[in-house]
Structure 1
Amino acid sequence: MSTPTATRLQAANASVTVLSNTTFVTDWTRRYFGPWWNAFEVPASYACAGPLVTADLNEKAYTDLTALVRSRPHHEATYAKARLLLTRDSTGTITGISPDEGLAYRSEQLGGHVTLAGRTAEPLALATARIAREMIRAALLRDGWTLLHASAVVQGDRAVLTFGSKGAGKTTTALLLASRGAQLLANDRVFVKAIGDDLRVLPWPSAAAIGLGLLDALGLYDVVRDRVQAGEQLHPTQHQDVTDALLAGRREPLWEPDGKREKKVQVFPDQFATWFGMQLATGGRAAALLFPRIDPTSVPAVIDGDRTLGEDDFMSGATEDRYPDHFGLAHGINGGGSDLARATVADRLAALPHHQITLNHDTQANADFLTKLAGDQDL
């Protein structure tokens, strides 16, 4: 049996330790969270302190937990797009198995300790990172943070938050500013909390989904293709069709069969730095809100409008769409934070400068406009 290794994650006052007999799992955790959350190796003996995820490659444990679930009344659910069978005992311990992934979960102490047993390393590493992130999220929400749908960049300690529905330009805005020297804090969502006179922001670590067309427009397509051709890997949640398109040099958007969702490149957080030369921010102070829309017939500009922060800009529901709280980690907290925290953040954000803007398909013009706007003293 390998010597266990441990990685501690820290975000504001929330922390969790990942302990594993497989260094691939803890190395993955440090890579995935390190650029945005403080992820660092600790002695395995430290794992007894605080929230804990234990994740081991262990065929016997997987088999035993599978037998346990199937021997008891259980129900079927979906988690991370995979089938999950779940049972709960009289002590509140939740046990689940994902047969297609070769994973078993056991959540004890009201979600304070989650044990995973896996048959192969990569699915185990992905599942471990997912659980650890959800435990941090739950702790932050209990501590009064909220979670917003927004991209964000930081200049100094001033954070510019960008809101909008799919296709509005959140990712475009953030990546253009990051390519011009701002630090990237969030691609799609961000934690916010009122602390004293400030609205503090924290990143939500995740693989960033970037469409092929946007990669091309940003001048990043060839960088990604060259790296993939050289054998480097993007995040494993990326659809094989996207990898094939990159290798073939296809730059047009790829769509799901229903034509409603685009299949996108899935970029590891650390690849923003190593591949694109962008710096990542670990936090900041909310200073301004942008509400972009893409209009190919317009020039980049600030426009009149009454767009303000709305309910859809907050995370809502008990959990995310793909990650329902099957393991009792959230303790019933709304996935976007408490009503009081949300109302406080909404009021504070409403007092910050708001700018509705249009962007077009001219990347250089967009970047010049956004750089000037973000550099204005009003922001």
Structure 2
Amino acid sequence: MTTHAVRLDVADATATVLSADQAVTDWAARYFGQWWNATEVPAQDVCTGSVVIATVDRDRYDEVALGVTQEPHGSTLYARAQLLLSREVSSGVIRAVSPEQQLAYVSEPGRGRLEIFGCDSGAVATATARLAREVVRGILLRNGWAVLHASAVVGSDGRTVLTLGQKGAGKTTTALALAAHQGFRLLANDRVFVRPAPDSSEVDVLPWPAAAAVGLGLLDALGWFGVARERLAQGEQLHPTQHERVTAAIRAGVSEPLWNGDKELKAQVFPDQFEGWFGVPLATGGTAAALVYPSVEKGAAPAEEGTVRWLAPGDFMSGATEDRYPDVFGLLGVDGGGADSVKQEVTRRLGRLPQLPVALGHDVAANGEFLAKLLGA
């Protein structure tokens, strides 16, 4: 049986995805290839480093799942689904099963080895990409990076604009306004890796690969709604985590925002679709140059605000705030957002840069023009 392998390289971190199911490694190559360096390699050459091994096999899934339930185990939520976990004290091996998703896991943190078993190729591919990202995150965090809750775009000179704020503040709106209308490259939609540059007083920035959540109203304001509708009509798909109501609305040409209670349902855009569908190139890294703190109100004219805003501890991710993907598999080895000393030094360095609180409206082109002028782009 042929084993396929895709190696992920970003900064000083490397991990390899292995699977006999090429759909799994193709998914990893697609998901990471635009932001991280994802390359196919001969499986026989993978003899060192961290590996994620994915197997689509119902019998192996049943075997691991049964083993978890027959041992003393606990329960938690992971990726919004129940996860049952057991741990061997002597070896440190962690076994887990998500019955709802029909996924099972065997993690050996001491060896840098994680195995995923499932019954459906698509579910295994999605989980494999998620866990491969966690493996790389752990390596980066242990090597002195931290995770900042921010969107980011990069100019032609590598200078990076970070957009910060609470959920719903307008981070995505700000970043996409610059990327869609002012020629910036998109670095990340919601999170970035940051570290104090080792050879200067600057802050290096890396992307956090993820599907981007874009509301239907914003999709329309960017001029992308018709493109998405046409692509879906041709048989292409957005990310499978997208709610079926969103897909149905795009197909029907309905661009009004959709809500599930107080939560807006959004389109989930693959990283490569920003360039392939919407003509927005992606950046693979940059150096922080300015921090923008937006607030978005319907009917507002873009303008600077008189308030003062500075980077705060709450702008960083941490183990306490990482509720969707807690480190249940022992992949990180440090706090999920990075070491406190790294966060403090990043905060000090970013504090020297322009801090720009802005008010934005729903006219995305006007927002982009205003922001570009403000930033001197």
TM-score by length of 1: 0.95
Partner of 1:225: 229
Indicate conservation of the 8 Å contact 2:243/2:265, yes or no.
Answer: yes
SS of match in other structure, 2:38 = strand
1:120 CA displacement: 1.0
Aligned to 1:94: 94
**Paired residue type of 2:62:** T
Distance in 2 of aligned mates of 1:47 and 1:178? 37
Structure-to-structure mapping, 1:15-94, within 5 angstroms = 15-89=14-88, 90-94=90-94
1:341 aligns with 2:342: yes
Q: How does 1:289-304 map to 2 (within 5 A)?
A: 289-304=291-306
Cα 1:356–1:57 shift into 2, 3 Å = same
Contact kept, 8 Å, 2:5 with 2:16, in 1: the verdict is yes
Please give the per-residue CA displacement for 1:246-287, whole angstroms capped at 9, x wherever unaligned.
11221111111xx32111100000000000000000000001
Q: Partners in 2 of 1:82 and 1:362 — Cα distance?
A: 38
C-alpha distance in 2, partners of 1:319/1:325? 12
Partner of 1:354: 355
Q: Is the 8 A contact 1:33 1:39 kept in 2?
A: yes
Q: How big is each residue's C-alpha offset from its partner over 1:337-374, in whole Å with a ceiling of 9 and x where there is no partner?
A: 10100000000000111111111122222121122223
Distance 2:320 2:37 in 1: 26
Separation of aligned partners in 1, 2:357 and 2:240: 36
Rounded Cα–Cα distance in structure 2 between residues aligned with 1:63 and 1:297? 56
Partner of 1:129: 129
State the distance in 2 between where 1:99 and 1:322 align. Answer: 17
Name the CA distance, whole Å, in 1 between partners of 2:371 and 2:236: 32
- After superposition, give the CA deviation of every residue in 1:202-257 in whole Å (9 maximum; x if it has no partner): 0000000000111111111111111112211000000111111111221111111x
Unaligned runs of 5+ in 1: none
Identical amino acids, percent of aligned pairs: 54
SS in 1 for 2:271: coil
Is the CA contact 1:111–1:327 (under 8 Å) kept in the aligned structure 2? no
User: 1:174 aligns to what?
Assistant: 175
Deviations 1:87-140 (A, max 9, x none): 111311001111222211000143610011111100000110011000111111
Give the Å deviation of 1:59: 2.2
User: Residue 270 of structure 1 aligns to a residue in which SS?
Assistant: helix
Q: Give CA deviations for 1:313-349 in whole Å, capped at 9, x if unaligned.
A: 1112257221111111112x11211010000000000
Structure 2: distance between partners of 1:318 and 1:69: 26
Measured in 2, the distance between the counterparts of 1:314 and 1:111 equals 29
SS in 2 for 1:264: strand
> Match of 1:210, as an amino acid?
V
Equivalence map 1:230-249=2 (5 Å)? 230-249=234-253
- The 5-angstrom pairing of residues 148-159 of structure 1 reads 148-155=148-155, 156-159=157-160
SS of 1:210's partner is strand
Determine whether 1:374 maps to 2:372: no
Are the structure 2 counterparts of residues 319 and 306 from structure 1 closer, same or farther at C-alpha, using a change threshold of 3 Å?
A: closer
* Contact kept? 1:111, 1:328, Cα under 8 Å: no
- 2: CA distance, partners of 1:232 / 1:33: 19
Encode CA deviations 1:23-71: one digit per residue, 9 max, x unaligned: 0000000000000011110110122210000101122211211221122
2: distance between equivalents of 1:12 and 1:100? 35
CA contact (8 A) 2:109 2:331 kept: no
Distance 1:51 1:255 in 2: 40
TM-score (normalised: structure 2): 0.96
Deviation per CA, 1:136-190, whole angstroms, max 9, x where unpaired?
Answer: 1111111111100111000121001011112221111111111121110010111
| Residue matched to 1:165 | 166
Q: For 2:323 and 2:51, locate their aligned partners in 1 and report how far apart those are by CA, in whole Å.
A: 24
Offset, 1:375: 3.0
Distance (whole Å) between structure 1 residues aligned to residue 136 and residue 278 of structure 2: 28
Question: Residues of 2 paired with 1:265 and 1:85: CA distance?
Answer: 30
1:206 paired residue number: 210
Q: Which amino acid aligns with 2:224?
A: L
User: CA separation in 2, counterparts of 1:160 and 1:25?
Assistant: 34
Alpha-carbon separation, structure 2, partners of 1:52 and 1:321: 24
Secondary structure at the counterpart of residue 54 of structure 2: strand
More deviation, 161-170/296-305: 296-305
State the AA in 2 paired with 1:16.
A
Letter in 1 for 2:147: L
Partners of 1:58 and 1:295 lie apart in 2 by: 50
Gap runs ≥5 in structure 2:
none
**Residue 103 of structure 1 pairs with residue 107 of structure 2:** no
> Is 2:19–2:54's contact at 8 Å kept on the other side of the alignment?
yes
